Amino acid sequence: MRTRTQVGIVGAGPAGLLLAQLLHRQGIDTVVLERQDEAYVRARVRAGVLEPGTVRALKAVGAGDRMLREGLVHGGFELRFGGRGHRIAMDELTGESITVYGQQEVVADLIDARRAAGETVEFEATVTEVTGTDTATPVIHYRRGGETGEAAEIHELHCDFVAGCDGFHGVCRPPQSRSYERDYPFAWLGILAAVPPSSDELIYARHDRGFAMHSMRSPSVSRFYLQVAPDTDLAEWPDERIWKELRIRLSTDDGWQLTEGEVTEKSVTGMRSFVSDTMRHGRLLLAGDAAHIVPPTGAKGLNLAVSDAQLLGESLISWYADGDEGPLAAYSDTCLRRVWRAQDFSSWMTGLLHRREGAEFEQRAQLAQLAYICRSTAASTMLAENYVGATGM
Protein backbone atom coordinates (compact mmCIF):
# COMPACT_ATOMS: atom_id res chain seq x y z
CA MET A 1 0.00 0.00 0.00
CA ARG A 2 1.43 3.35 -1.07
CA THR A 3 1.42 6.26 1.38
CA ARG A 4 3.40 8.78 -0.71
CA THR A 5 3.44 9.76 -4.36
CA GLN A 6 4.16 12.84 -6.43
CA VAL A 7 0.73 13.17 -8.08
CA GLY A 8 -2.35 11.51 -6.64
CA ILE A 9 -5.07 11.03 -9.26
CA VAL A 10 -8.68 10.51 -8.20
CA GLY A 11 -10.72 8.82 -10.91
CA ALA A 12 -9.85 6.27 -13.60
CA GLY A 13 -11.72 7.85 -16.48
CA PRO A 14 -10.09 9.19 -19.65
CA ALA A 15 -8.70 12.31 -17.95
CA GLY A 16 -7.17 10.53 -14.97
CA LEU A 17 -5.73 7.63 -16.92
CA LEU A 18 -4.29 9.78 -19.71
CA LEU A 19 -2.72 12.13 -17.16
CA ALA A 20 -1.16 9.17 -15.35
CA GLN A 21 0.31 7.85 -18.59
CA LEU A 22 1.68 11.26 -19.61
CA LEU A 23 3.38 11.73 -16.23
CA HIS A 24 4.73 8.18 -16.07
CA ARG A 25 6.47 8.60 -19.41
CA GLN A 26 8.33 11.56 -17.90
CA GLY A 27 9.36 9.66 -14.77
CA ILE A 28 6.81 11.33 -12.47
CA ASP A 29 5.31 8.99 -9.86
CA THR A 30 1.51 8.67 -9.73
CA VAL A 31 -1.16 6.69 -7.91
CA VAL A 32 -4.61 6.34 -9.51
CA LEU A 33 -7.56 5.72 -7.16
CA GLU A 34 -10.92 4.62 -8.60
CA ARG A 35 -14.12 4.06 -6.61
CA GLN A 36 -15.61 1.41 -8.92
CA ASP A 37 -14.28 -2.05 -9.68
CA GLU A 38 -12.39 -2.72 -12.90
CA ALA A 39 -15.19 -4.60 -14.63
CA TYR A 40 -17.55 -1.67 -14.14
CA VAL A 41 -15.02 0.86 -15.40
CA ARG A 42 -14.29 -1.14 -18.53
CA ALA A 43 -17.99 -1.62 -19.30
CA ARG A 44 -19.55 1.81 -18.68
CA VAL A 45 -20.71 3.20 -22.02
CA ARG A 46 -20.13 6.86 -22.70
CA ALA A 47 -19.32 9.04 -25.71
CA GLY A 48 -17.74 7.69 -28.84
CA VAL A 49 -16.61 10.60 -31.07
CA LEU A 50 -12.90 11.42 -30.91
CA GLU A 51 -11.50 14.66 -32.27
CA PRO A 52 -8.19 14.50 -34.18
CA GLY A 53 -6.41 15.99 -31.16
CA THR A 54 -7.72 13.19 -28.94
CA VAL A 55 -6.55 10.58 -31.44
CA ARG A 56 -3.08 12.14 -31.47
CA ALA A 57 -2.96 12.25 -27.68
CA LEU A 58 -3.78 8.55 -27.33
CA LYS A 59 -1.20 7.60 -29.95
CA ALA A 60 1.45 9.70 -28.20
CA VAL A 61 1.13 7.79 -24.91
CA GLY A 62 1.13 4.33 -26.49
CA ALA A 63 -2.61 3.72 -26.14
CA GLY A 64 -3.72 4.12 -29.75
CA ASP A 65 -2.93 0.87 -31.55
CA ARG A 66 -6.34 -0.79 -31.14
CA MET A 67 -8.10 2.52 -31.83
CA LEU A 68 -6.23 2.81 -35.12
CA ARG A 69 -7.23 -0.76 -36.05
CA GLU A 70 -10.86 -0.72 -34.94
CA GLY A 71 -11.91 2.94 -34.85
CA LEU A 72 -14.21 4.16 -37.62
CA VAL A 73 -12.77 7.24 -39.35
CA HIS A 74 -15.44 9.63 -40.64
CA GLY A 75 -14.76 12.53 -42.95
CA GLY A 76 -18.25 13.94 -42.54
CA PHE A 77 -21.64 13.64 -40.88
CA GLU A 78 -25.20 14.18 -41.98
CA LEU A 79 -27.74 16.80 -40.98
CA ARG A 80 -31.19 15.41 -41.73
CA PHE A 81 -34.34 17.55 -41.76
CA GLY A 82 -37.37 18.09 -43.95
CA GLY A 83 -37.13 14.54 -45.30
CA ARG A 84 -33.64 15.06 -46.76
CA GLY A 85 -30.06 14.46 -45.72
CA HIS A 86 -27.27 17.02 -46.12
CA ARG A 87 -23.63 15.97 -45.68
CA ILE A 88 -21.21 18.22 -43.80
CA ALA A 89 -17.85 17.31 -45.36
CA MET A 90 -15.48 17.95 -42.45
CA ASP A 91 -12.47 16.58 -44.32
CA GLU A 92 -12.99 18.93 -47.26
CA LEU A 93 -13.87 21.96 -45.14
CA THR A 94 -11.19 21.60 -42.45
CA GLY A 95 -8.74 18.93 -43.61
CA GLU A 96 -9.62 16.88 -40.51
CA SER A 97 -11.77 13.85 -39.67
CA ILE A 98 -13.22 12.35 -36.49
CA THR A 99 -12.88 8.78 -35.22
CA VAL A 100 -15.83 6.85 -33.81
CA TYR A 101 -14.49 4.71 -30.96
CA GLY A 102 -16.29 4.11 -27.67
CA GLN A 103 -15.11 5.84 -24.51
CA GLN A 104 -15.09 2.51 -22.68
CA GLU A 105 -12.60 1.26 -25.28
CA VAL A 106 -10.41 4.32 -24.71
CA VAL A 107 -10.48 3.62 -20.96
CA ALA A 108 -9.65 -0.06 -21.50
CA ASP A 109 -6.70 0.85 -23.74
CA LEU A 110 -5.35 3.31 -21.16
CA ILE A 111 -5.67 0.77 -18.33
CA ASP A 112 -3.80 -1.79 -20.45
CA ALA A 113 -1.12 0.76 -21.35
CA ARG A 114 -0.61 1.59 -17.68
CA ARG A 115 -0.25 -2.09 -16.81
CA ALA A 116 2.16 -2.63 -19.69
CA ALA A 117 4.28 0.18 -18.21
CA GLY A 118 4.45 -1.67 -14.88
CA GLU A 119 1.95 0.58 -13.11
CA THR A 120 -1.47 -0.17 -11.63
CA VAL A 121 -4.84 1.38 -10.88
CA GLU A 122 -6.19 0.91 -7.37
CA PHE A 123 -9.82 -0.01 -7.98
CA GLU A 124 -12.51 -0.01 -5.28
CA ALA A 125 -10.72 2.83 -3.51
CA THR A 126 -13.35 5.20 -2.14
CA VAL A 127 -11.96 8.68 -1.55
CA THR A 128 -13.66 10.33 1.43
CA GLU A 129 -11.94 13.73 1.36
CA VAL A 130 -8.93 15.68 0.16
CA THR A 131 -7.21 17.92 2.71
CA GLY A 132 -4.28 20.31 2.78
CA THR A 133 -4.76 21.56 -0.75
CA ASP A 134 -3.49 24.98 0.31
CA THR A 135 -0.22 23.43 1.53
CA ALA A 136 2.73 21.79 -0.23
CA THR A 137 1.61 18.32 0.87
CA PRO A 138 -2.11 17.67 0.23
CA VAL A 139 -3.53 14.37 1.46
CA ILE A 140 -6.08 12.03 -0.14
CA HIS A 141 -8.09 10.08 2.44
CA TYR A 142 -9.70 6.85 1.19
CA ARG A 143 -11.00 3.39 1.99
CA ARG A 144 -9.64 0.35 0.19
CA GLY A 145 -11.22 -2.74 -1.31
CA GLY A 146 -14.81 -1.63 -0.99
CA GLU A 147 -14.57 -1.21 2.80
CA THR A 148 -17.62 0.57 4.22
CA GLY A 149 -19.02 1.72 7.53
CA GLU A 150 -17.58 3.75 10.35
CA ALA A 151 -15.19 0.94 11.31
CA ALA A 152 -13.56 0.87 7.86
CA GLU A 153 -9.93 1.98 7.98
CA ILE A 154 -9.12 5.32 6.37
CA HIS A 155 -5.85 5.34 4.46
CA GLU A 156 -3.85 8.43 3.61
CA LEU A 157 -1.99 9.17 0.39
CA HIS A 158 0.37 12.16 0.69
CA CYS A 159 1.11 14.00 -2.56
CA ASP A 160 2.73 17.03 -4.11
CA PHE A 161 -0.44 17.59 -6.17
CA VAL A 162 -3.92 16.07 -6.40
CA ALA A 163 -5.64 15.72 -9.77
CA GLY A 164 -9.41 15.61 -9.30
CA CYS A 165 -10.69 13.56 -12.24
CA ASP A 166 -13.62 11.95 -10.42
CA GLY A 167 -16.54 13.59 -12.21
CA PHE A 168 -19.32 15.95 -11.24
CA HIS A 169 -20.42 13.88 -8.22
CA GLY A 170 -16.90 13.19 -6.98
CA VAL A 171 -15.43 14.49 -3.74
CA CYS A 172 -12.65 16.57 -5.30
CA ARG A 173 -14.82 19.43 -6.53
CA PRO A 174 -14.99 21.89 -3.59
CA PRO A 175 -18.67 22.35 -2.67
CA GLN A 176 -18.20 26.07 -2.04
CA SER A 177 -16.69 26.77 -5.48
CA ARG A 178 -18.61 29.10 -7.77
CA SER A 179 -20.09 27.64 -10.93
CA TYR A 180 -22.25 28.48 -13.94
CA GLU A 181 -25.06 26.10 -14.86
CA ARG A 182 -27.89 25.60 -17.32
CA ASP A 183 -30.52 22.85 -17.42
CA TYR A 184 -32.21 21.85 -20.67
CA PRO A 185 -35.91 20.87 -20.94
CA PHE A 186 -35.20 17.52 -22.59
CA ALA A 187 -33.11 14.37 -22.25
CA TRP A 188 -31.76 11.61 -24.51
CA LEU A 189 -33.06 8.08 -24.53
CA GLY A 190 -30.05 6.11 -25.73
CA ILE A 191 -29.82 2.51 -26.86
CA LEU A 192 -27.13 0.12 -28.02
CA ALA A 193 -28.29 -2.36 -30.61
CA ALA A 194 -26.62 -5.48 -31.98
CA VAL A 195 -27.20 -4.42 -35.59
CA PRO A 196 -24.91 -3.12 -38.34
CA PRO A 197 -25.09 0.66 -38.83
CA SER A 198 -27.69 1.84 -41.32
CA SER A 199 -25.38 4.65 -42.43
CA ASP A 200 -21.69 5.07 -43.16
CA GLU A 201 -21.55 8.24 -41.03
CA LEU A 202 -23.32 9.82 -38.06
CA ILE A 203 -26.78 11.28 -38.63
CA TYR A 204 -28.17 14.24 -36.66
CA ALA A 205 -31.89 14.49 -37.39
CA ARG A 206 -34.16 17.42 -36.60
CA HIS A 207 -37.82 16.32 -36.69
CA ASP A 208 -41.12 17.88 -35.61
CA ARG A 209 -41.46 15.03 -33.09
CA GLY A 210 -38.02 15.70 -31.62
CA PHE A 211 -34.34 15.12 -32.23
CA ALA A 212 -32.89 11.72 -33.20
CA MET A 213 -29.36 10.52 -33.80
CA HIS A 214 -27.87 7.51 -35.52
CA SER A 215 -24.35 6.61 -34.41
CA MET A 216 -22.29 3.44 -34.29
CA ARG A 217 -19.68 1.66 -32.18
CA SER A 218 -18.43 -0.97 -34.62
CA PRO A 219 -19.43 -2.60 -37.93
CA SER A 220 -21.87 -4.76 -35.94
CA VAL A 221 -23.05 -2.46 -33.14
CA SER A 222 -25.14 0.70 -33.54
CA ARG A 223 -25.96 3.52 -31.12
CA PHE A 224 -29.18 5.56 -31.29
CA TYR A 225 -30.62 8.51 -29.37
CA LEU A 226 -34.11 9.98 -29.12
CA GLN A 227 -35.09 13.30 -27.57
CA VAL A 228 -37.44 12.65 -24.65
CA ALA A 229 -38.65 14.49 -21.54
CA PRO A 230 -36.23 14.59 -18.57
CA ASP A 231 -38.68 12.62 -16.37
CA THR A 232 -39.10 9.81 -18.91
CA ASP A 233 -39.73 6.36 -17.46
CA LEU A 234 -37.88 3.67 -19.43
CA ALA A 235 -40.73 1.27 -18.73
CA GLU A 236 -42.85 3.36 -21.08
CA TRP A 237 -40.40 2.76 -23.93
CA PRO A 238 -40.40 -0.90 -24.97
CA ASP A 239 -38.15 -1.81 -27.88
CA GLU A 240 -40.99 -1.74 -30.39
CA ARG A 241 -41.86 1.86 -29.52
CA ILE A 242 -38.22 2.93 -29.75
CA TRP A 243 -37.72 1.43 -33.20
CA LYS A 244 -41.00 2.94 -34.45
CA GLU A 245 -40.00 6.41 -33.24
CA LEU A 246 -36.53 6.09 -34.76
CA ARG A 247 -38.07 5.08 -38.11
CA ILE A 248 -40.28 8.17 -38.05
CA ARG A 249 -37.67 10.71 -36.97
CA LEU A 250 -34.90 9.37 -39.22
CA SER A 251 -37.07 8.85 -42.30
CA THR A 252 -36.33 10.50 -45.64
CA ASP A 253 -38.39 11.08 -48.75
CA ASP A 254 -36.15 8.77 -50.76
CA GLY A 255 -37.08 5.71 -48.67
CA TRP A 256 -33.96 5.29 -46.52
CA GLN A 257 -34.23 2.12 -44.43
CA LEU A 258 -33.32 1.65 -40.77
CA THR A 259 -31.82 -1.69 -39.76
CA GLU A 260 -33.46 -2.95 -36.57
CA GLY A 261 -32.54 -5.72 -34.14
CA GLU A 262 -31.77 -6.65 -30.55
CA VAL A 263 -31.50 -3.80 -28.05
CA THR A 264 -28.70 -4.64 -25.61
CA GLU A 265 -28.67 -1.50 -23.47
CA LYS A 266 -31.11 1.31 -22.73
CA SER A 267 -30.82 4.47 -20.62
CA VAL A 268 -32.10 8.05 -20.22
CA THR A 269 -29.58 10.88 -19.79
CA GLY A 270 -30.50 14.41 -18.82
CA MET A 271 -28.84 17.36 -20.51
CA ARG A 272 -27.12 20.18 -18.70
CA SER A 273 -24.25 22.63 -18.88
CA PHE A 274 -21.92 23.21 -15.95
CA VAL A 275 -18.65 25.12 -15.66
CA SER A 276 -16.61 25.61 -12.49
CA ASP A 277 -15.34 29.14 -12.02
CA THR A 278 -11.80 27.80 -11.53
CA MET A 279 -10.11 24.48 -12.15
CA ARG A 280 -7.36 25.03 -9.59
CA HIS A 281 -7.66 25.16 -5.80
CA GLY A 282 -4.11 25.40 -4.48
CA ARG A 283 -2.48 22.01 -5.05
CA LEU A 284 -5.80 20.47 -6.19
CA LEU A 285 -6.34 20.64 -9.96
CA LEU A 286 -9.60 19.57 -11.59
CA ALA A 287 -10.00 17.93 -15.00
CA GLY A 288 -12.90 16.58 -17.04
CA ASP A 289 -16.43 16.36 -15.63
CA ALA A 290 -15.23 17.46 -12.19
CA ALA A 291 -14.83 20.93 -13.71
CA HIS A 292 -17.31 21.07 -16.59
CA ILE A 293 -20.19 19.25 -18.27
CA VAL A 294 -21.52 19.94 -21.76
CA PRO A 295 -24.67 18.72 -23.55
CA PRO A 296 -23.75 15.65 -25.62
CA THR A 297 -24.99 17.12 -28.89
CA GLY A 298 -21.61 18.58 -29.83
CA ALA A 299 -19.60 15.46 -28.82
CA LYS A 300 -17.26 17.51 -26.62
CA GLY A 301 -17.24 15.85 -23.18
CA LEU A 302 -14.58 13.20 -23.72
CA ASN A 303 -12.50 15.49 -25.90
CA LEU A 304 -12.48 18.25 -23.28
CA ALA A 305 -11.35 15.73 -20.64
CA VAL A 306 -8.45 14.67 -22.85
CA SER A 307 -7.52 18.30 -23.54
CA ASP A 308 -7.53 19.04 -19.79
CA ALA A 309 -5.31 16.05 -19.07
CA GLN A 310 -2.83 17.05 -21.76
CA LEU A 311 -2.53 20.60 -20.48
CA LEU A 312 -2.33 19.51 -16.86
CA GLY A 313 0.30 16.93 -17.73
CA GLU A 314 2.42 19.49 -19.57
CA SER A 315 2.07 21.94 -16.66
CA LEU A 316 3.16 19.39 -14.05
CA ILE A 317 6.04 18.18 -16.22
CA SER A 318 7.32 21.76 -16.44
CA TRP A 319 7.02 22.17 -12.68
CA TYR A 320 8.96 18.98 -11.95
CA ALA A 321 11.56 19.67 -14.62
CA ASP A 322 12.64 23.14 -13.53
CA GLY A 323 10.17 24.48 -10.98
CA ASP A 324 8.37 26.59 -13.59
CA GLU A 325 5.10 27.76 -11.98
CA GLY A 326 3.90 29.59 -15.10
CA PRO A 327 2.00 26.77 -16.82
CA LEU A 328 0.33 25.68 -13.57
CA ALA A 329 -0.68 29.25 -12.81
CA ALA A 330 -2.25 29.53 -16.27
CA TYR A 331 -3.81 26.04 -16.27
CA SER A 332 -7.34 27.03 -15.27
CA ASP A 333 -7.65 30.06 -17.54
CA THR A 334 -6.17 28.19 -20.51
CA CYS A 335 -8.53 25.24 -20.10
CA LEU A 336 -11.60 27.39 -19.53
CA ARG A 337 -11.12 29.26 -22.81
CA ARG A 338 -11.58 25.97 -24.65
CA VAL A 339 -14.36 24.86 -22.28
CA TRP A 340 -16.44 27.99 -22.91
CA ARG A 341 -15.94 27.66 -26.66
CA ALA A 342 -17.21 24.08 -26.40
CA GLN A 343 -20.12 25.16 -24.18
CA ASP A 344 -21.20 27.76 -26.70
CA PHE A 345 -20.98 25.31 -29.59
CA SER A 346 -22.76 22.49 -27.71
CA SER A 347 -25.55 24.80 -26.57
CA TRP A 348 -25.95 26.17 -30.09
CA MET A 349 -26.02 22.68 -31.61
CA THR A 350 -28.57 21.56 -29.02
CA GLY A 351 -30.84 24.51 -29.74
CA LEU A 352 -30.49 23.94 -33.48
CA LEU A 353 -31.74 20.34 -33.42
CA HIS A 354 -34.10 19.87 -30.47
CA ARG A 355 -37.81 20.59 -30.40
CA ARG A 356 -39.35 22.76 -27.70
CA GLU A 357 -43.05 22.34 -26.97
CA GLY A 358 -45.16 25.20 -28.28
CA ALA A 359 -42.19 27.09 -29.75
CA GLU A 360 -43.49 27.36 -33.31
CA PHE A 361 -41.51 30.52 -34.07
CA GLU A 362 -38.30 28.82 -32.91
CA GLN A 363 -39.04 25.69 -34.94
CA ARG A 364 -39.40 27.66 -38.16
CA ALA A 365 -36.21 29.57 -37.33
CA GLN A 366 -34.42 26.24 -36.79
CA LEU A 367 -35.35 25.05 -40.26
CA ALA A 368 -34.22 28.33 -41.79
CA GLN A 369 -30.88 28.12 -40.01
CA LEU A 370 -30.35 24.48 -40.98
CA ALA A 371 -31.08 25.32 -44.61
CA TYR A 372 -28.59 28.20 -44.47
CA ILE A 373 -25.87 25.98 -42.97
CA CYS A 374 -26.31 23.43 -45.73
CA ARG A 375 -26.13 25.92 -48.59
CA SER A 376 -23.43 28.22 -47.20
CA THR A 377 -19.80 27.12 -47.33
CA ALA A 378 -18.93 29.61 -44.60
CA ALA A 379 -21.66 28.32 -42.27
CA SER A 380 -20.80 24.69 -42.98
CA THR A 381 -17.14 25.43 -42.29
CA MET A 382 -18.00 27.03 -38.95
CA LEU A 383 -19.92 23.90 -37.95
CA ALA A 384 -17.21 21.55 -39.17
CA GLU A 385 -14.39 23.47 -37.47
CA ASN A 386 -16.15 23.38 -34.13
CA TYR A 387 -17.08 19.72 -34.49
CA VAL A 388 -13.50 18.56 -35.12
CA GLY A 389 -12.09 20.96 -32.54
CA ALA A 390 -10.17 23.05 -35.07
CA THR A 391 -11.13 26.46 -33.68
CA GLY A 392 -7.77 27.62 -32.35
CA MET A 393 -8.84 27.30 -28.72
Of 24, 214, 292, 300, which is the active-site residue? 300
Length of the chain counted residue by residue? 393
Going by C-beta distance under 8 Å and a sequence separation of 6 or more, which residues neighbour residue 321? 26
pLDDT tens digits, one per residue of 235-248 = 999 999 999 999 99
Of 101, 138, 142, 204, which is the active-site residue? 204
Amino acid at the residue 92: E
Catalytic residue list contains 142: no
Residue 342 vs residue 173, higher pLDDT = 342
All structural domains of the chain:
7-73+101-179+273-346 (3.50.50.60), 184-271+356-388 (3.30.9.10)
Q: Phi first, then psi: what are they for 387, rounded to 5°? A: -65, -40
At 302, the pLDDT band (50, 70, 90 cuts) reads very high
- Separation between Cα atoms, residue 384 and residue 165, nearest integer Å: 29
Catalytic residue list contains 204: yes
At 145, the pLDDT band (50, 70, 90 cuts) reads confident
What global pTM score does this model have? 0.94
Catalytic residue list contains 74: yes
Catalytic residue list contains 296: yes
* Cα 240 to Cα 136, 228, 246, 247, 260, distances in angstroms: 58, 16, 10, 11, 10
Catalytic residue list contains 281: no
pLDDT tens digits, one per residue of 312-328 = 999 999 999 999 999 99
Of 14, 138, 197, 296, which is the active-site residue? 296
Q: Is the pLDDT of residue 392 over 60?
A: no
pLDDT tens digits, one per residue of 239-292 = 999 999 999 999 999 999 999 999 999 999 999 999 999 999 999 999 999 999
Of 74, 86, 158, 266, which is the active-site residue? 74
